[in-house]
């Protein structure tokens, strides 16, 4: 079975541009979360979506947005890119987002975004 898949694997963008990153969760998983991992740091939570609704949002500016589709795949969009947005963007899927559920998050390989 395929794990969490992310595309593209690498991306180079110019300051001010817009970028869309894509994630396909494990089959049967309904929750998708996005994390930003800057070089030398641990991943930081950006968003969680469950059943196409936003369930949680981290401390990121409004330039960051996301959505989840009926097939539970997800897109992360970043507008007006800054040099500081250069990072590894990780997607994680889990079976459910029911509060208190002991669900495990499975991570994809990530998309490495470089802003020049």
Partner 1 sequence: AQSVTQLDSQVPVFEEAPVELRCNYSSSVSVYLFWYVQYPNQGLQLLLKYLSGSTLVESINGFEAEFNKSQTSFHLRKPSVHISDTAEYFCAVRPMNRDDKIIFGKGTRLHILP
Q: Which residues bind partner 1 (CB under 8 A)?
A: 4, 31, 33, 35, 40-45, 48, 55-56, 58, 90, 92, 94, 96-110
> In this complex, which beta carbon is closest to partner 1, that of residue 25 or of residue 43?
43
> In this complex, which beta carbon is closest to partner 1, that of residue 110 or of residue 115?
110
Could you tell me how many helices (H) and strands (E) the chain has, helices first? Answer: 0, 11
Instruction: Report the C-alpha gap between 76 and 66 in whole angstroms.
Output: 4
Instruction: Report the C-alpha gap between 49 and 38 in whole angstroms.
Output: 22
Instruction: Report the C-alpha gap between 53 and 82 in whole angstroms.
Output: 27
CB of 93 to partner 1, least distance (A): 12
> In this complex, which beta carbon is closest to partner 1, that of residue 8 or of residue 16?
8
Lookup result for tokens 């992310």: 6
Instruction: Report the C-alpha gap between 72 and 52 in whole angstroms.
Output: 7
Cis peptide bond N-terminal to 82, omega within 30: no
> In this complex, which beta carbon is closest to partner 1, that of residue 35 or of residue 72?
35
């Amino acid at each position: 079975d395929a794990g969490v898949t992310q595309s593209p694997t690498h991306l180079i963008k110019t300051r001010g541009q817009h970028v869309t990153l894509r994630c396909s969760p494990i089959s049967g998983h309904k929750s998708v979360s996005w994390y930003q991992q800057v070089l030398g740091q641990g991943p930081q939570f950006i968003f969680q979506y469950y059943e196409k609704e936003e369930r949680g949002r981290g401390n990121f500016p409004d330039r960051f947005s996301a959505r989840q589709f009926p097939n539970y795949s997800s897109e992360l969009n970043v507008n007006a890119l800054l040099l500081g947005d250069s990072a590894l963007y990780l997607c994680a899927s889990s079976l459910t987002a029911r509060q208190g559920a002991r669900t495990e998050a499975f991570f994809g390989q990530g998309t490495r975004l470089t802003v020049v």
